[in-house]
Amino acid sequence: MFENPFSRRRSVRTDSVDASKAAAVRQTFSSGPASSGAARVPAIAAQRTCASMAGVKAASKEISRTLMKLLKSRQGVPVETLFGVLGSLAGFSCQMGIRDEYSRRANALPPLHVVRTLDGRVFYFGDALNEMLAESQYSVWSLSASHARKLGGTPPDLSAIFAHVSRTCGGTDFGVPRFPEGRPVKDLPVDYIRTFWSLIQPAVQKHCNGPSEWHVAYGLAIQAAMDVSKAVIDPGAALEIVMECAVPMSKLDPREVGL
């Protein structure tokens, strides 16, 4: 019989990644990322063949497998934390994918609009970023929201999440998710980036054909997490956690996490 890996407790804690788990994951990925190939436009074509999606699907499975391993405790996998981590990484991968793409082009700056706040912090906006995050067929939002609906969930108001993130840029509330009632998560999205990006991203780069596919791999991993956790958390609530983390992390200055 299938054993549900998720804790049913309403109030959960985030388990720290111990040294042995992190070391094991780093050993698994010791071969490093494979070459991404020629530069491509930072958007996913509307039509894809099964062959072209093979790498993305392989990457999504690695994301799921690794996070399950890292987050599992005696109580199971803290489901809210899982979706918080996935959302944070998915949002951050949108910006990092654009940066990686344009770093391959001579004298080309990434199409990101820089916003500097009075306290000296920097945030990034732009159409290319929004396309990967929420607007294209294979955006994080499109993949996650369509699957949540398929499983009977009601998606949150995405425009309200974007508005909240824009209002809080430069303030103490930036990057502090407003999670569904009864679904607390201990750590902040920026902490998830610091902890998990270096552990997860090498496998994503290894399997994907290029940086324009990174966010798609995370989107498919979110779908898989919804499938196995639907008896524990409503897919609509899971999606809300994902986007409350994904939107602010897509704007984050990578220097704040040492990148």
- How would residue 109 be classed by pLDDT, with cut points 50, 70 and 90? confident
Whole-model pTM: value is 0.81
- pLDDT for res 34: 33
Strand residues in 44-186 grouped as ranges (E): 113-116, 122-125
- pLDDT for res 31: 30
> Of 224, 237, 217, 190, which Cα lies nearest the Cα of 85?
190
- pLDDT tens per residue, range 141-190: 999 999 999 999 999 999 999 999 999 998 989 999 998 776 667 789 99
**Can you give the residue ranges of every domain in the chain?**
55-70+77-257
| 29: pLDDT strictly greater than 80 | no
- Asked if 225 and 68 touch (Cβ cutoff 8 Å), the reply is no
Phi-psi sector, 208: left (phi>0), alpha (psi -120 to 50), beta: beta
> Could you identify the residue written with the tokens 């996650």?
144
